[in-house]
Amino acid sequence: MQMLQIEREADHLKINLPDSVRLPAKVYYSREDSMTESTTSFLEFREAGWQMFKDPDPKTRLYFELFSGSDVFIGAERRLPLDHLYNCRDLGGYYTARGQMTRWGLVFRSDALHQIDEEEQKYIERLGIKRIIDFRSPQEIAKDPNKSILLSETVNFNPHADVAQQASTQTVSKKDEEKIAQLEKMVSTDAGREQLVKNRNVMSKQMEQLVLGEKAVNAYQRFFSTLLEADSTPLIFHCQGGKDRTGWAAAIYLSALGVDKDQVYQDYLLTDKMNAPRNAKRMAIYKKYTDNEDVLAFLSSLQLTKKEYLDGAFNAVEKTFGTMEKYLKLSLGITDKQLDLLREKYLY
């Protein structure tokens, strides 16, 4: 099984046909990630490389499959085309060391679902979502409750990540204005300025606590328990911005399946690209309240998705447990049999 690259440009899709593909090539598409003749239509292409075509069903997520000799290619868009979700994407299409690939259409990571409109609600419902795992705090949920998704069950696993919660807030409140004033007061002294510069690595410390914190361990244990349930997929897991709490969940999910560290980082760092428009809006609001470069740099550091942040989590794993596998087993309580079940369920 190999990945078929699919990207979007407005109401058109692009597909990257490998040079090795026999031409003309028939690419089958379906609403279902498991295709059958009764659910499948096809497009025909006479050239390799990137080919553009009008989305045949814009209101529904499509999966694409190509057969060429003994080779099978399968793919879908990475990011879901939902205007009110910056960071909702499919975790399919990542390779394992054994040459398998994570399944499309089963596990989606996202930001919170409170801002979606009615059409986007229907789009998500057509994915057949059965579980929504919400990593937010009760306060975040009360402030921004998710829109209802028919036929899905929501569960809340709160890892108690206070810094991540602050970093992912999408609006500026009176409390934020007061915080900015406090930060400006802090940087008015040399010692305070030096401390704030040091505090820019606070997200690395937060990621470390997602590994070691007792409540975080409990949250991610329950996350894997849900993944192992027989009838839990397709599922979406999210926090507020889909960055830190969700980022670590995605990292350990992919790692448990045998996806290598480089691809885990690749997925984590995609958030920076996805959230860039949201972050720009938020920084524009902050700049209405301060022009202090040190304060703005600190506030920006909370929103960014950096390699060093994920390093904080992986370093904690390696220092405390030695390997990711030992962390999964000793901290999260996942057995060899459960790892086999996860791979059977979520890999092609």
Query: In this predicted structure, what is the pLDDT of residue 169?
Result: 60
What would the two tokens of residue 260 be? 């290598």
Query: In this predicted structure, what is the pLDDT of residue 285?
Result: 87
Q: Which fold has domain 1-77?
A: Immunoglobulin-like (2.60.40)
Per-residue HEC secondary structure of the chain comes to CEECEEEEECCEEEEEECCCCCCCEEEEEECCCCCCHHHCEEEEECCCEEEEEECCCCCCCCEEEEEECCEEEEECECECCCCCCCCCEECCCCEECCCCEECCCCEEEECCCCCCCHHHHHHHHCCCCCEEEECCCHHHHHHCCCCCCCCCEEEECCCCCHHHHHHCCCCCCHHHHHHHHHHHHHCCCHHHHHHHHHHHHHHHHHHHHHHHCHHHHHHHHHHHHHHHCCCCCCEEEECCCCCCHHHHHHHHHHHHHCECHHHHHHHHHHHHHHHHHHHHHHHHHHCCCCCCHHHHHHHHHHHCCCHHHHHHHHHHHHHHCCCHHHHHHHHCCCCHHHHHHHHHHHEC
Low-confidence ranges of the chain (pLDDT < 50): none
Task: Please state whether the predicted TM-score (pTM) of the whole model is above 0.85.
Answer: yes
Query: In this predicted structure, what is the pLDDT of residue 165?
Result: 74
Residue 151: CB atoms within 10 A of its CB come to: 8
The answer to whether the bond into 24 is cis (omega within 30° of 0) is yes
Q: Which fold has domain 79-346?
A: Protein-Tyrosine Phosphatase; Chain A (3.90.190)
Query: In this predicted structure, what is the pLDDT of residue 86?
Result: 94
> How do the domains of the chain map onto residue ranges?
1-77, 79-346
Q: What is the pLDDT of residues 170-205, one digit of tens each?
A: 555 567 788 888 889 988 998 888 888 777 778 899
Query: In this predicted structure, what is the pLDDT of residue 254?
Result: 99
Nearest to 255 by CA among 346, 164, 319: 346
Query: In this predicted structure, what is the pLDDT of residue 34?
Result: 76
Query: In this predicted structure, what is the pLDDT of residue 144?
Result: 95
Percent of the chain with pLDDT over 90: 79
